[in-house]
Amino acid sequence: MDSVLDTQIDVAMGFDRNYAPHAAVVIASIVRHATDAALRFIIVHDGVERALQERVESVAPRAKFVWIQIGDDDVPEYETRGHLNRSVLFRLSLEKLAPADCTRVIYIDADTVVLRDIRELWRSDITGYSIGAVVDCYLAAEKFAERWGLPMDAPKYFNAGVLLVDLARVRAEKSFSAALDFVATHNQKLLLGDQDALNVVFWGRWKSVGADWNVQRVRTQAEFEAELSPDRRLSPSGPALVHYITDDKPWKADVWHHWAWLYWDNLKRTPFFDDVVRTYEVSLYRRLRMLVKWLRSRPRIRAAAPI
């Protein structure tokens, strides 16, 4: 097997200081299921001071961390829209800002929780493609193709919250730079910012890594099993990563998300539990209700085959 798949695993994230506690949850969940993996976290950030960085790093004491402060010229301006702000563009800076020895990287949004060994995703075969991703559960690919004049043959639109990236290939193609240029040119027309731009750039040129690795819906296991489209159907092992898309974040007191307890279960493994409880005013009563709902209706999650 290629040595790049046997040694260090590079995981990239992009966030500002407000999302640092949630990013720590993602990191904690990765480490939890890959305790012996050689991990390097490449963090593109805005304003995460050293003291806060150290708190995040404490979640994964055996891992390496590379912190990259985003510059004004690294990504274009982006008007905040709901829960989306300029930090959604940070992943596109990896082409230029990631360490030179990083040739393959997993990018993960800071509003996710990992439930299986990240090495399973790392070893996915994307030979011949720059990125591996998962179909977006909500956006209609046909309408997107029509809007941007893209080929209509078997259209597929991916969610950019989880990407397996052949960074060497991306650098050679300068494809993330092309996506940044697309954002700068069409900013106001993009519903989902760089995700739309990435889908235009990679239209028909990306590989599916399986729906398990980006579960985006607030749905029960039975509803998942009723899915007819193979590229949106979970494997028998169940979710490998849950992605809390839209503004329905599990750390909000007034939001119920079917998978919310997974976030709180991993938050306990970070030094940010009290911070999140205090900031979002999530009382013990609300957390207990969340746990009871989870115990009553949690989906079947089976361990994947050993790595």
- Answering whether pTM is above 0.75, one says yes
Work out the pLDDT band at 6, boundaries 50, 70, 90.
Answer: low
What local confidence, expressed as pLDDT, does residue 47 receive? Answer: 92
**Tokens 């949850």 map to which residue?**
25
Lowest mean pLDDT, pick from 57-71, 123-137, 215-229, 240-254: 215-229
**Tokens 């207990």 map to which residue?**
288
pLDDT higher than 90, residue 225: no
Residue of 184 and 88 predicted with greater confidence: 184
What local confidence, expressed as pLDDT, does residue 184 receive? Answer: 86
Mean pLDDT over residues 151-170, rounded?
Answer: 94
- Give the right CATH number for 3-297 from 3.40.30.10, 3.30.1330.20, 3.40.630.30, 3.90.550.10: 3.90.550.10
pLDDT higher than 90, residue 265: yes
Kindly compute the dihedral angle of the four CA atoms of residues 21, 24, 29, 31, in this order, to the nearest 10 degrees.
-160
pLDDT higher than 90, residue 2: no
What local confidence, expressed as pLDDT, does residue 305 receive? Answer: 42
What local confidence, expressed as pLDDT, does residue 248 receive? Answer: 85
Cβ atoms of 69 and 37 within 8 Å: the answer is no
- CA gap 216, 224 in Å, rounded: 11
